[in-house]
Structure 1
Amino acid sequence: MTDDITTTAPARIALITGGNRGLGRSAALALAERGTDVILTYRSNEDEAHAVVAEIEAIGRRAAALRLDTTEVETFPDLVEAVRSTLGGWGRDTIDHLVNNAGLTAEGSISEATVADAQLLFDVHFKGVFFLTQALLPVLADGGSIVNLSTGLARFVGAPSYAIYASMKGAVEVLTRYLAKELGARGIRVNVVAPGPVMTDFAGGYIRASAEAQQQFGAATALGRVGEPDDIGPVIAAVLSEEMHWVTAQRIEASGGTLL
């Protein structure tokens, strides 16, 4: 006769860039509710980041906040060392999930856009995603998963002022497929989540602040309203989950059916 032995698998760990607000915060909390520990990064607004850490800890999960500017590629090795140090304190040496969420926009039509606008959006939305992912590959566990954030604007044309932003996100969607192909040998899945109009601080919080914009964009969706951050965070958590283990190199649009 043998004694029953109950073992508990260690909690999964996710790193989320731009996790101090908006979609990143929602994803962090959704993952924590599902039993995942979270390392989040922030560029500014340190108080916000630590408030999210406190929310996650109140759920009963571990959390840490690390500063990161995704335009400063030269600082990525330092971030990796900070991640390793955090993981060491948690008795781990790898993360299971990476969410490339950090972002911003610089508006301007094609005729008005500047080289500086294009460089900023390239640095944040493509170069930053590419080289941060590269830097973190040694600490991303085999069998892990990556979610890159894109936008509905990579499928449908919105205001002309988003031409460069949408183009960079289109490049991220292509990169996602290449990452999925290269990392598949390690069992790592890579997918894109593409939100539609959402009431966040993005673009200066324009949609959130404008009832007219909410009505306009909501009328363009099958579900009749614009999105909230908490419409997107659980989608990210779901795509990262084990239930999605056979899904990779896919674009999952979470837009409420915008401009079908």
Structure 2
Amino acid sequence: MSKIALITGGNRGLGRSTALALAGAGVDVVLTYRSNATEAAEVVDEIKRLGRTAVALPLDAGRVETFDDFAAAVGAALREHWDRDTFDYLVNNAGVGLAASIAETTEEMFDELLNVHFRGVFFLTRRLLPVIADHGKIINLSTGLARFSGDGVYAAYASMKGAVEVFTRYLAKEVGPRGITANVVAPGPVGTDFGGGVLRDNEQVRAHLSGQNAMGRMGRPQDIGGFITTLLTGETGWVTAQRIEASGGMLI
């Protein structure tokens, strides 16, 4: 029986890379997107060309009130495409990039980050726990910025990710009796369109950050997608409640 992964924000960036890497490893995929259905459909088509089954479902990860309907849509997709009532891997990846100093951070910015990066992760995971198969795996995305402070404009964003890291440890203890693991992957700087694509498109920023890690280069989406795939599909069932940073040795 094929394994099935649910990846939030799977239409672009790290989510897309993870979806394609998992498909390449023989895993079927349910991916979510917030608004760009065309982009999501393109990822679904790529996965199908790899010989796997994929479904894209809309989800605003910051709107907890929609999660019951989303869970119902997941259940319907599982029954229709796989004749199953559960999936195996949950990757909480969806995010929004807002950068500002503490002095410049508004309540509206703070609330948006809170809703997507922490409140949404907490309550979406809670809602999906009955649908995750025993002996499954959960990965929550954090950031290297929860360890180092970068340019000092990510206090709110990094604080939400720090909360996710604490949540994941408690989650691991709660789901452990079901044989489910829960871990955090914390990427360092990766060149995607996240936050307006500055890490992908600004050569000065890229050169600066590349000089601050042991590998001497920026991260690529496939670095993270491949690592998440290894954690999910490899013999890693004895690893849980861990924060694993994939940053090329940033600021060591």
Equivalent residues in 2 for 1:99-248 (5 A)? Answer: 99-248=91-240
SS of aligned partner of 2:71: helix
| 2:110 partner amino acid | A
Q: CA offsets, 1:96-142, max 9 Å, x none?
A: 00000000122210111111111110000000000000110111001
Distance across 2 between alignment mates of 1:143 and 1:63? 22
| 2:30 partner amino acid | I
Distance across 2 between alignment mates of 1:57 and 1:106? 33
The residue aligned with 1:7 is: none
Distance across 1 between alignment mates of 2:234 and 2:123? 26
SS of aligned partner of 2:235: helix
The residue aligned with 1:41 is: 32
| 2:71 partner amino acid | V
Q: Confirm or deny that 1:70 pairs with 2:93.
A: no
SS of aligned partner of 1:243: coil
Pick one of 3, 12, 28 that aligns with 1:12: 3
The residue aligned with 2:76 is: 85
Distance across 2 between alignment mates of 1:199 and 1:105? 13
Distance across 2 between alignment mates of 1:61 and 1:105? 31
| 2:68 partner amino acid | P
Q: TM-score, normalised by structure 2?
A: 0.98
Give the number of the structure whose alpha-carbon radius of gyration is greater. Answer: 1
Distance across 2 between alignment mates of 1:203 and 1:72? 20
Distance across 2 between alignment mates of 1:209 and 1:37? 32
Distance across 2 between alignment mates of 1:29 and 1:246? 25
CA RMSD of aligned residues (A): 0.7
> Which of structure 1's runs of 4+ aligned residues deviate more than 4 A?
none
- The alignment of Structure 1 onto Structure 2 pairs a total of residues equal to 251
Distance across 2 between alignment mates of 1:240 and 1:230? 15
Q: Which blocks of at least 5 consecutive residues in structure 1 are unaligned? A: 1-9
Q: CA offsets, 1:210-242, max 9 Å, x none?
A: 111110000001000011101100111111124
What's the offset of the Cα at 1:159? 1.5
Distance across 2 between alignment mates of 1:112 and 1:83? 39
Q: Which blocks of at least 5 consecutive residues in structure 2 are unaligned? A: none
The residue aligned with 2:50 is: 59
Distance across 2 between alignment mates of 1:96 and 1:140? 6
Q: CA offsets, 1:76-111, max 9 Å, x none?
A: 011111111111011111000000000012221011
SS of aligned partner of 1:200: coil
Distance across 1 between alignment mates of 2:44 and 2:117? 25
What is the identity percentage for the equivalent residue pairs of Structure 1 and Structure 2? 61
| 1:73 partner amino acid | V
The residue aligned with 1:50 is: 41
SS of aligned partner of 2:114: helix
Distance across 1 between alignment mates of 2:199 and 2:174? 38
The residue aligned with 2:246 is: 254
Distance across 2 between alignment mates of 1:128 and 1:58? 32
Q: TM-score, normalised by structure 1?
A: 0.95
Distance across 1 between alignment mates of 2:153 and 2:206? 18
